[in-house]
C-alpha cells in the first residue's frame, strides 16, 4: 500500500505538507536504540518502502543487553555477569535479524554501532565528538534521503540521547535528509502528527515480526503488542523557536539537579544553582550559553543526581534555538 493511501485511510484530514512520497528512489534509514524499536515504531513504514521499491537500512545503536529482568526470568538467575549480558545481547541481535527478515529485509540491512545499552546519554555527555563522528560516518555510508529517529520527547534516556546524536551528526550538511521522529515512551509535545496505517497483510507481518523478539515478549508481551498495534505516529523535526526551558523544578530539589548543554562545540554542565540562568516575568528559565556556541545546534538536558530505580527520564532533553536574543 502506498504511503499516501495508508495515511488517507487513517486520517480524514488533508495530508501534512512535506510528507515524503515513497518510490524506488527512497533510501530510508531507521535509527533504533534497541532491538525491537525498529519493529514497534517503523514496522509498517519499512514494509511500505520495500513495496515501493526503495532501500531500507537499520542503524542499531545498542544490543539491548542491559535489560536484566527478562533475563532473570527466562534464565532463572539472579546475578547477571558481563558474560551473561554479552550472551543476552547476542540473543537479542539474533531475534532482531529474524524480525527484519519477516519485514522483508536481509541481514545486510542491519548495521550495529555496539554502544552501551542505557549508556547513550554518557555517549553524548562524555564522548560526544567521537560518537557523533562515528554516527555521521555510518549515515554517510548509506546516504539516506529519509531518516526516522526517536523523538526528543521520548522519556527513555537512550531514545532522547539517540535523537541528539543523530541531529548533531547531520548538523551542517548541505543537503540533509528529511527527518521524521517516532515516540515509543511518553507523550509528544508536538500536535502535528502523521499517523500511518497499513494493509491487513502489513499489520499481520508486523505482529509476527514483533513475536520474533521473544526475550522481550516474555514479560512485556501485552504492552509491546499494544504499542505495535497502534498506527505508526511520526512528527516532523524542525528547529526550536523557544529560548525558555520547559522545566520549573521545585526549590527543594535544586541541590540534586544537573543541567547539561550540548552542541557541536562540546558539552557544558552545571549544578542547577550554578547554571547561567535568567528568570523571566512569568517564572520561566532561560539559559545563557557562552558566546562561542552562538549559532550552533544546541540541546539541554536536566537530570537528578539522586539514585532511583526508575529508568525513564523525568525531565529529559529540550532543544534551544541557535541564536539567543540580544
d(CA 307, CA 155): 17
d(CA 3, CA 195): 10
Walk across the sheet containing 266-271 and list its strands.
266-271, 257-263, 298-304, 316-320
d(CA 262, CA 128): 8
Strands 266-271, 178-182: pairing is unpaired
Cell triple for 81 = 555477569
State which fold the 3-236 domain adopts: Rossmann fold (3.40.50)
CB atoms within 10 A of CB 262: 26
Average pLDDT over residues 249-268: 94
Q: What residue spans define the domains of the chain? A: 3-236, 251-320
Please state which of the ranges 137-146, 153-162, 281-290 shows the lowest mean pLDDT.
Answer: 281-290
The conformational region for residue 43 under phi > 0 = left, psi -120 to 50 = alpha, else beta, is alpha
d(CA 263, CA 253): 26
Helices (H), the chain: 3-10, 37-51, 68-75, 82-102, 120-142, 157-170, 200-211, 214-229
Predicted pLDDT of residue 230: 86
Predicted confidence (pLDDT) at residue 256 exceeds the cutoff of 50: yes
CB atoms within 10 A of CB 71: 21
Quickly tell me which residue has 565528538 as its cell: 129
193 versus 12: the higher-pLDDT residue is 193
pTM: 0.90
Is residue 111 helix, strand or coil? strand
pLDDT per position as a tens digit, 111-151: 999 999 999 999 999 977 999 999 999 999 999 999 999 99
Contacting residues for 155 by C-beta, under 8 A, at least 6 apart: 185, 186, 312, 313, 314, 316
Predicted confidence (pLDDT) at residue 4 exceeds the cutoff of 60: no
3 versus 66: the higher-pLDDT residue is 66
Give the residue among 71, 117, 103, 322 at the shortest CA–CA distance from 216. 71
d(CA 78, CA 45): 39
The 3-state DSSP composition of the chain as helix, strand, coil percent (nearest 5) reads: 40, 20, 40
pLDDT per position as a tens digit, 29-40: 999 999 999 999
* Average pLDDT in the chain: 88
d(CA 24, CA 299): 35
Predicted pLDDT of residue 1: 44
Residue 295: band (very low, low, confident or very high) from pLDDT cuts 50, 70, 90: low
Helices (H), 183-288: 200-211, 214-229
Considering all CA atoms of the chain, what is the largest pairwise distance in Å, rounded to the nearest integer?
A: 60
Amino acid at each position: 500500500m502506498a504511503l499516501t493511501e495508508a495515511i488517507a485511510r487513517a486520517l480524514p484530514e488533508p495530508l501534512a505538507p512535506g510528507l515524503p512520497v515513497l518510490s524506488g528512489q527512497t533510501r530510508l534509514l531507521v535509527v533504533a536504540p534497541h532491538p525491537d524499536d525498529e519493529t514497534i515504531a517503523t514496522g509498517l513504514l519499512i514494509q511500505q518502502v520495500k513495496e515501493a521499491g526503495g532501500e531500507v537500512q537499520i542503524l542499531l545503536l545498542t544490543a539491548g543487553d542491559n535489560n536484566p529482568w527478562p533475563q532473570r526470568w527466562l534464565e532463572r538467575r539472579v546475578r547477571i555477569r558481563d558474560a551473561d549480558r554479552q550472551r543476552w545481547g547476542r540473543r537479542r541481535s539474533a531475534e532482531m535479524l529474524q524480525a527484519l527478515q519477516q519485514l522483508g529485509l536481509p541481514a545486510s540491512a542491519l548495521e550495529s554501532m555496539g554502544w552501551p545499552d542505557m549508556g547513550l546519554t554518557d555517549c553524548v555527555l562524555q564522548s560526544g565528538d567521537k560518537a557523533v563522528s562515528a554516527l555521521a560516518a555510518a549515515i554517510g555510508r548509506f546516504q539516506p534521503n529519509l531518516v526516522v529517529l526517536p523523538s526528543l520527547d521520548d522519556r527513555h534516556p537512550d531514545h532522547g540521547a539517540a535523537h541528539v546524536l543523530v541531529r548533531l551528526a547531520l548538523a551542517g550538511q548541505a543537503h540533509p535528509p528529511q527527518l521524521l521522529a517516532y515516540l515509543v515512551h511518553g507523550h509528544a509535545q508536538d500536535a502535528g502528527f502523521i499517523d500511518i496505517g497499513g494493509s491487513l497483510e502489513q499489520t499481520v507481518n508486523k505482529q509476527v515480526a514483533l513475536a520474533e523478539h521473544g526475550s522481550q515478549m516474555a514479560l512485556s508481551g501485552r504492552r509491546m503488542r499494544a504499542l505495535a498495534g497502534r498506527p505508526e505516529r511520526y512528527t516532523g523535526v524542525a528547529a526550536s523557536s523557544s529560548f525558555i526551558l520547559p522545566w520549573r523544578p521545585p526549590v527543594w530539589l535544586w541541590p540534586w539537579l544537573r543541567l547539561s548543554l550540548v552542541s557541536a562545540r562540546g558539552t557544558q554542565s552545571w549544578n542547577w544553582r550554578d547554571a547561567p540562568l535568567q528568570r523571566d516575568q512569568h517564572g520561566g528559565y532561560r539559559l545563557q550559553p557562552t558566546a562561542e556556541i552562538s549559532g550552533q545546534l544546541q540541546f539541554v538536558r536536566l537530570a537528578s543526581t539522586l539514585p532511583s530505580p526508575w529508568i525513564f527520564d523525568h525531565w529529559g532533553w529540550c532543544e534551544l534555538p541557535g541564536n539567543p536574543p540580544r
